[in-house]
Amino acid sequence: MRRTETEDVHDILRHAIDWAMEAGHLQRDKFRSSHLQMTTKSNIHDVVTEVDKACEALLIEHITSRYPSHSILGEETGQHTSAETSDWQWVVDPLDGTNNYSQGLPIYCVSIGVQYKGETQVGVVYVPFLDELYSAVRGEGANWNGRFIRVSRKTDLNECVLATGFPYDKGTNPINNLDNVCALLPTLRGLRRMGSAAYDLCCVACGILDGYWELDLKPWDACAGALIVEEAGGIIKPFRNDRHISIVAGNKTIVDKIYERLNKNV
């Protein structure tokens, strides 16, 4: 891992954990509220709640106060300061799994990745309802509630439970992952659609899931979770370049077997 004279990654990790948990507690307090305010973004399937916005505002306030020279990329408010003029960038998803949250389903989380010169150095994902904290520092392994974790060792897809997801434009764009599901599902023990990319990646990191693929992710969806997978001994492999971030995650053997069956036409 690249160290710098000006920042301590462990100091950054401590703050990221504290702030993720603070945002998570806010989410838990508002969860299943009958007065939750909600609007849509890119289309009717892409929702945002007042809690998403409040959590992002909270995180940005903390980051800018403690690290005023750092850049921030937030899902709800975009780029704060220029990434071109700052070596450090925080990539924030204040509430990953908003559809779940708005429906009262308990799979949602806060995701914070911190990059130095474009390479993720710190990853934190907090899952409030389950009180699960996943974290990693590049080169130092990955943790789940204080325990070191490793990806699954399975090598046969027939024994695997995988996760995937679908893009918000699934109704209008034919590159919507249905072909990949059809290609992979018959070969699997099981397939899950959890509704939170960050949580899916953390489940892969600790071996609860054996692998994961998804297309059309954004940086805030995968930044923290991808590092956590890699530090847990897994790999992240891209499979398309025409649908934003499209990745496969798991141990190398399983990733290669998933990759073989995916539609990679671009």
Q: Is the pLDDT of residue 118 over 50?
A: yes
pLDDT, mean of residues 191-198: 98
Best CATH choice for the domain 9-148 from the list 3.30.70.100, 3.30.499.10, 3.40.309.10, 3.30.540.10 = 3.30.540.10
Q: What is the pLDDT of residue 247?
A: 98
Q: What is the pLDDT of residue 15?
A: 98
Q: Is the pLDDT of residue 45 over 50?
A: yes
Q: Is the pLDDT of residue 2 over 80?
A: no
Q: Is the pLDDT of residue 161 over 60?
A: yes
Please write the tens of the pLDDT for every residue from 205-224: 999 999 999 999 999 999 99
Distances (CA, A) of 10 to 94, 183, 198: 21, 42, 21
Please write the tens of the pLDDT for every residue from 69-113: 999 999 998 899 866 678 999 999 999 999 999 999 999 999 999
Please tell me the least confidently modeled range out of 126-135, 164-173, 210-219, 245-254.
Answer: 164-173
Structural Rg of the chain based on CA atoms:
18
Proportion of the chain above pLDDT 90, given as a percent: 87
Considering the segment(s) 157-261 as one domain, its CATH architecture is 3-Layer(aba) Sandwich (3.40)
Confidence of residue 178 (pLDDT cuts 50, 70, 90): very high
Q: What is the pLDDT of residue 83?
A: 63
Q: Could you give the CA distance from residue 180 to residue 264 in angstroms, rounded to a whole number?
A: 10
C-beta separation of 90 from 80 below 8 A: no
Kindly list the domain boundaries of the chain, sorted by start residue. Answer: 9-148, 157-261
pLDDT, mean of residues 226-236: 98
Confidence of residue 18 (pLDDT cuts 50, 70, 90): very high
pLDDT, mean of residues 8-21: 98
